């Protein structure tokens, strides 16, 4: 059993034993704080002084670095211009690499490059120069990266394994000419920890079979077969390829033509194996983002649980079952890090915190969009069966600076906690442990608001038995007719009367991890002024509060 699994078991075995959970968090917090203080000092020097400004833009000064309106303070965002899908997530020699779809010349989508950042702790990021540029074969669309430990590709030097990136070429000349085969797959390699990349002279390594949507390769090593496997978007479903050397690929099977949700094109698939929490049994998980077709409209990520023999994937659930990784409107195209030792931690995931319905219109100026928090993916049994759950990465504990514990036993109505906090509620984490009382069906949650009359609510409606995110009054919304048109909801997967809720608020976003990550919601909003006030509320009935802890979180950029 991995240390990650053991940590989760320890934390969830008695989810409402406050003493046990506090010990778990405190031990991790003190250990990571001392380590991350050193890392923070080094990375801030690099971020503020060593990174190069985008062409045509001046570098921000130390006093205003990452201080623009709506700029997240503990989520990754590019220094300038447009960003979308995370790409090439790989861990190598102590560094987490985050590549991403990037257009350095505008804050709207354009010719795609691979932007690049690295971190030693998943929290503080160092911006690096662009890794991959478009060329005669096309734009550089989404893909993945691996460590070729056995040098199967032959790209390695001096007995050191190379990093190999696998990506989609998007040929706009062919697209404009009316051809259907304008997307192909290419590779590149690096022998200096991802700082310099060389494209393979034999690209493309997978030609297009005649599909308009043929993209987003996610590659991993299959230890049992001793070969590489790739899951690839093929329009309305996924294809599974295999290779011995990352250069020559053959199609093994296809999955999904009649499985899951099909409201839009499948994108950014992923395929990996996980142990079921608390056991040695393993299952395979396939992720598939679709746009549109999400549970609350627009972009979202579905997943499948089943078995994989190295060639074919078999879904355990009925074909028409749609399981969603996140019910919010703003978690899309997420994938997991490769080459993290399986016995050290859970599968790590990060997504693009936006939605294609309005991504290019959101009211930011110097940059556009951010990533979600890094998350641990855990397979565990729930009241509704085996589910893929998400929890924030443990490293985020090191950002806690100031703690306030509300002295509440029961709540019926609302209580304003603004004066009790010594930090801005627009940059905080909240832990709530709540129990329902008797037969009452309350509506309870957290409300952020400001003096402009703008507010954001996120909570649970016991009568409807669903979580909700209400950004209908949260500020700027005129950039899109459906951004704030309705309240977004998510079903409760857990069936108990007790709730363990973890919230993160960061300037212009909220992330809810409910019932130890069984239900997750990620949403953005854009108040005209930061939300500087906060209240807890319980309407239409009262709730018992076992814990209400508020943490001011440090900026990762200061």
| Residues 359 and 385 sit within 8 Å (Cβ to Cβ) | no
Q: Dihedral, CA atoms, 430, 433, 439, 442, nearest 10 degrees?
A: 0
| Residues 426 and 454 sit within 8 Å (Cβ to Cβ) | no
Give the relative orientation of helices 18-45 and 3-12 as an angle to the nearest 10 degrees: 140
Name which of 58, 68, 147, 203 is nearest 557 in CA terms: 68
| Residues 550 and 403 sit within 8 Å (Cβ to Cβ) | yes
Is the Cα torsion angle 247, 250, 255, 256 positive or negative in sign? positive
DSSP letter for each residue of 173-241: HHHHTT-S--EEEEEEEESSTTSS-EE-TT--SB---S-S--EEEEEEEETTTTEEEEEEE-SSSEEEE
- Catalytic, 439? Answer no
* Burial (CB count within 10 angstroms: exposed 0-12, middle 13-18, buried 19+), residue 84: buried
Enter the tokens of residue 145: 């990266």
Name which of 200, 128, 215 is nearest 169 in CA terms: 215
User: What distance in Å separates the CA atoms of residue 96 and residue 394, rounded to the nearest whole number?
Assistant: 15
CA atoms within 13 A on the CB side of 246: 30
R_g of the chain computed on alpha carbons: 23
User: What distance in Å separates the CA atoms of residue 249 and residue 281, rounded to the nearest whole number?
Assistant: 30
Catalytic-role residue among 64, 85, 135, 326 = 85
Enter the tokens of residue 259: 């499985």
Name which of 463, 407, 471, 455 is nearest 436 in CA terms: 463
Instruction: Give the active site residues.
Output: 85
């Amino acid at each position: 059993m991995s240390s990650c699994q053991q940590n989760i078991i320890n934390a969830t075995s008695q989810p409402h034993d406050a003493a046990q959970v506090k010990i778990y968090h405190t031990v991790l917090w003190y250990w990571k704080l001392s380590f991350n203080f050193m890392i923070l000092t080094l990375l801030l020097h690099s971020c503020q002084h060593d990174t190069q400004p985008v062409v045509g833009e001046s570098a921000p000064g130390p006093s205003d670095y990452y201080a623009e309106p709506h700029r997240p303070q503990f989520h990754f965002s590019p220094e300038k211009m447009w960003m979308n899908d995370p790409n090439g997530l790989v861990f190598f020699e102590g560094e987490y690499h985050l590549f991403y779809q990037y257009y350095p010349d505008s804050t709207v989508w354009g010719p795609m490059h691979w932007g690049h950042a690295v971190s030693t702790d998943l929290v503080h990021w160092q911006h690096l120069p662009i890794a991959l540029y478009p060329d005669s074969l096309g734009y550089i669309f989404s893909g993945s990266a691996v460590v070729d430990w056995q040098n199967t590709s032959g790209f390695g030097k001096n007995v050191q394994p190379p990093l190999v990136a696998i990506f989609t070429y998007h040929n706009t000349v062919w697209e404009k000419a009316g051809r259907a085969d304008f997307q192909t797959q290419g590779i590149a390699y690096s022998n200096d920890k991802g700082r310099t990349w060389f494209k393979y002279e034999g690209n493309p390594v997978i030609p297009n079979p005649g599909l308009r949507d043929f993209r987003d390769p996610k590659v991993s090593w299959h230890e049992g077969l001793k070969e590489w496997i790739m899951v690839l978007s093929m329009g309305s479903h996924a294809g599974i390829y295999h290779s011995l050397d990352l250069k020559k690929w053959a199609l093994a099977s296809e999955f999904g033509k009649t499985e899951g949700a099909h409201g839009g094109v499948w994108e950014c698939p992923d395929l990996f194996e996980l142990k079921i929490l608390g056991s040695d049994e393993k299952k395979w998980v396939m992720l598939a983002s679709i746009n549109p077709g999400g549970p609350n409209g627009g972009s979202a990520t579905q997943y499948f649980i089943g078995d994989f023999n190295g060639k074919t994937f078999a879904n355990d659930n009925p074909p028409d079952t749609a399981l969603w990784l996140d019910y919010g409107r703003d978690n899309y195209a997420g994938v997991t890090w490769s080459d993290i030792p399986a016995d050290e931690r859970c599968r790590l995931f990060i997504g693009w915190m936006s939605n294609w319905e309005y991504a290019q219109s959101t009211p930011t100026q110097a940059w556009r969009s951010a990533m979600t928090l890094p998350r641990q993916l855990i397979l565990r049994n729930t009241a509704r069966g085996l589910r893929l759950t998400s929890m924030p990465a443990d490293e985020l504990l090191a950002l806690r600076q100031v703690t306030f514990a509300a002295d509440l036993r029961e709540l019926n109505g609302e209580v304003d906690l603004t004066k009790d906090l010594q930090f801005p509620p627009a940059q905080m984490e909240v832990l709530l442990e709540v129990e329902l009382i008797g037969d009452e069906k309350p509506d309870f949650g957290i409300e952020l608001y400001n003096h402009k009359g703008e507010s954001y609510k996120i909570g649970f409606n016991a009568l409807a038995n669903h979580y909700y995110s209400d950004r209908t009054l949260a500020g700027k919304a005129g950039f899109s007719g459906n951004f704030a048109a309705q309240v977004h909801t998510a079903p409760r997967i857990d069936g108990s009367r007790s709730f363990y809720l973890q919230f993160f608020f960061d300037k212009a976003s909220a992330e809810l991890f409910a019932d130890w990550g069984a239900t997750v919601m990620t949403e953005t909003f854009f108040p005209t002024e930061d939300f500087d006030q906060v209240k807890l509320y319980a309407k239409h009935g009262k709730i018992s509060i076992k814990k209400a802890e508020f943490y001011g979180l440090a900026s990762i950029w200061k």
